Each structure stands twice: as structure tokens, then as C-alpha cells.
């Protein structure tokens, strides 16, 4: 694949870089960011944490606001942050912020007009890791994390592909998208009316279907304005308990849905993933 490097910034002895490439899966140009820790300068390959962002975000939100580079540099972990959806003049869109460009929901759309481009599940699971592992000094060890819609993506993709990851974490995830307005709108548009197809992308339903082998860490702010209607972490924990899964929910008093919250606890998540990357 033809990678074009569009920016470079030195950070904590490592490098934050942005690239564009033509995605065969999404049938459009895509952008991603990667942080490479200083360990790669010494000739070492490093494991990768894939970070999935939320509604309206791009690769830039996490890399600029979360403050993850210092700990990633210390631990020797690369971070890859893709965009949240396909984009471009020929890509279908919607007037709402919660559908279309910026709101891919990490599913493979089956309905027109979305099916032509919106295959974010395949992009995150296969095309992007293959691209990263072919072009950067990284190992095949992977962890996955995300926020809000991206937290949904991290939980769902990790649960569906447990042999591909060492651990899963999420901030303020949409845990049960088949039972909340954001998910119902997106899944109806992308997947149609078949509720069985919806369940294949719902982390609560995936947990109920069988005990995961991966450890899961979830942080949720108690003052998150989306908590009751959209996020429903209690459903995730109930499903995890029903199959005796290793899933820790930490309710953080006073925190909201913002990157102030993420920045406050990102070190914990990186150390959590480092522990399990090393154990695998």
C-alpha cells in the first residue's frame, strides 16, 4: 500500500506521525496517526495499542488531548489511532453528528448507501493492522482500547476476535448499542432491520454468548451526561457476571465524558495493557 507521511512530531523521545493511504476495504483515502516509542530507535520491535475514538472524532483527538505519549514511551508501546469512519466527497453522509462521516460505529454496513464505504470492522481488524505490521517496527502483539463509540468498537472487536488481542479497555463505552438511541439509529441505517445482525456487534450480547478469555478494564465517569440513556455500563457488568468474565468497571466520581476524564486515567490503561502484553 502507498503510505504518505503528512506530519512528524518528536514526543518524549519517540515520534508522533500521521499518514494517509488508499484503503481497499473502505474504498477511499484514510488517515491514521501512530506514536512510535524511543525503543524503536534502538532497533527493537514493539507491541501496538489500537485506540478507537468516538463520535465526531478523528485520529487527532486522542493523540493531542489524552497525554498518552509519556507513558507509552516509558513502557515501549506503539499507539495507532485511526479515523472514525471513511470520508470524502463520494462517501455517504448524514446531517446528524451520530451517523455517517465521523460515526462509523466500527461495523460492516450492509445497507445502501453505506455499504459502499462503511466497512470499519474489516478495516480495524485486518487492513490497518496488516498495514502497520508491514511498514513499522512493531510485533504482532496487539491490545485495543477506545472511548464512547470507540469504546463500543474496542469491546466488540476484542470480544469477537480474542486470539488477536491480549487485553481490552474502554472509557465511557456504548456497551449495549442495540438498547440505546445512538446504536439503534446507526444499526438501523448500517445493518437494516435484522436485529440478529445487530447482536453480532453488541458487546453485551457477545458477552452473554460465552465467557471471554481476555481481561477487560472499563472506566466510567459518574457525571457523564450520556451515562443513563446511551452508555449503560450496568448491562455490561451484568452480562460479564453471568458468564464469570474478567471485566472490571471503575466508576470515577465527578468525571464526565470528556478528554479531561481520559487524560486522568490513561496511564492506568496503558499499564494494564502493558502487563498483559508482556504476559502473552
Alpha helices in 76-147 (DSSP H): 120-122, 128-135
117, 147, 257, 276: which one is catalytic? 257
Q: Are strands 28-36 and 14-23 parallel, antiparallel or unpaired?
A: antiparallel
Active site residue 152: no
166, 224, 273, 276: which one is catalytic? 224
Active site residue 224: yes
Q: What are the cell numbers at 128?
A: 490497518
Sequence-separated (6 or more) residues with CB below 8 Å from residue 253: 222
Active site residue 148: yes
Rounded to 10 degrees, the C-alpha dihedral 37/5/154/79 comes to 0
Element (H, E) at 261: helix 259-279
23, 85, 145, 148: which one is catalytic? 148
Q: Using CA of residue 237, residue 252, residue 59, residue 35, what is the dihedral sign?
A: negative
Sequence-separated (6 or more) residues with CB below 8 Å from residue 209: none
| Counts for the chain of helices (H) and strands (E), in that order | 10, 9
The catalytic residue positions are 148, 224, 257
Amino acid at each position: 500500500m502507498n503510505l504518505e507521511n503528512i506530519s512528524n512530531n518528536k514526543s518524549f523521545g519517540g515520534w508522533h506521525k500521521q499518514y494517509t493511504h488508499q484503503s481497499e476495504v473502505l474504498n477511499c483515502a484514510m488517515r491514521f496517526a501512530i506514536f512510535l516509542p524511543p525503543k524503536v530507535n534502538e532497533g527493537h520491535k514493539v507491541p501496538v495499542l489500537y485506540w478507537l475514538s468516538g463520535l465526531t472524532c478523528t485520529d487527532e483527538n486522542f493523540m493531542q488531548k489524552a497525554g498518552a505519549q509519556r507513558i507509552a514511551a516509558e513502557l515501549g508501546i506503539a499507539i495507532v489511532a485511526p479515523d472514525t469512519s471513511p470520508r470524502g466527497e463520494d462517501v455517504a453522509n448524514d446531517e446528524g453528528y451520530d451517523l455517517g462521516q465521523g460515526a462509523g460505529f466500527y461495523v460492516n454496513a450492509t445497507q445502501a448507501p453505506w455499504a459502499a464505504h462503511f466497512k470499519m470492522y474489516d478495516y480495524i481488524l485486518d487492513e490497518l493492522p496488516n498495514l502497520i505490521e508491514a511498514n513499522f517496527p512493531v510485533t504482532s502483539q496487539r491490545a485495543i482500547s477506545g472511548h464512547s463509540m470507540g469504546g463500543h468498537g474496542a469491546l466488540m472487536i476484542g470480544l469477537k476476535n480474542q486470539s488477536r488481542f491480549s487485553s481490552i479497555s474502554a472509557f465511557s463505552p456504548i456497551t449495549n448499542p442495540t438498547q440505546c438511541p445512538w446504536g439503534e439509529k446507526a444499526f438501523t441505517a448500517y445493518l437494516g432491520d435484522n436485529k440478529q445482525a445487530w447482536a453480532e456487534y453488541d458487546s453485551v450480547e457477545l458477552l452473554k454468548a460465552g465467557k471471554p478469555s481476555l481481561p477487560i478494564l472499563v472506566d466510567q465517569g459518574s457525571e457523564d451526561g450520556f451515562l443513563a440513556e446511551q452508555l449503560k455500563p450496568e448491562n455490561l457488568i451484568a452480562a460479564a457476571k453471568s458468564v464469570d468474565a474478567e471485566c472490571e468497571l471503575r466508576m470515577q466520581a465527578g468525571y464526565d465524558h470528556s478528554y479531561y476524564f481520559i487524560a486522568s486515567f490513561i496511564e492506568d490503561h496503558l499499564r494494564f495493557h502493558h502487563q498483559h502484553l508482556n504476559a502473552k
